[in-house]
Amino acid sequence: MNAVWKLGEATVEQVRAEIPEARRPAYNTVQTVLNRLEDRQMLVRVRDGRAHLYRPSIEESEFVARSMGERLAGASPGARRLALLNLVDGLMPAEVDEIALRAKQIQARRKKG
């Protein structure tokens, strides 16, 4: 997925080229993984001449948010709070400012509704 997100769209060979040579799997292995990601509706496959192009059907940020949400949903409230605080603590100051602004917007919206 990282290769397809980075490239925007890619053939099997382009995805293979993104993998370091020392760890580069066979063409068929990459093709199988891409087809499975399409089956899971994470990629869209379109024919481009004799090849297929794979495009992400979900943005990387959306995928990360969903994954984190699924993990956090099963945790206790205290564990969720501490996990989020630890994540925020690792951010750059500008990112923390952005989160603070977004938190204020969410609070204002919730007070109205």
- Residue 38 belongs to a domain: yes
The total domain count for the chain is: 2
The pTM of the whole model exceeds 0.85: no
Residue 13 confidence class, pLDDT cut points 50, 70, 90: very high
Q: What is the pLDDT at residue 48? A: 87
- Residue 61 belongs to a domain: no
* Residue 100 domain boundaries: 75-112
- Residue 93 belongs to a domain: yes
Q: What is the pLDDT at residue 99? A: 94
Q: CATH number, domain at 32?
A: 1.10.10.10
Residue 23 confidence class, pLDDT cut points 50, 70, 90: very high
The answer to whether 55 touches 43, Cβ cutoff 8 Å, is yes
The answer to whether 27 touches 16, Cβ cutoff 8 Å, is yes
All residues at 6 or more sequence positions from 5 whose CB lies less than 8 Å from its CB, including other chains: 56, 59, 60
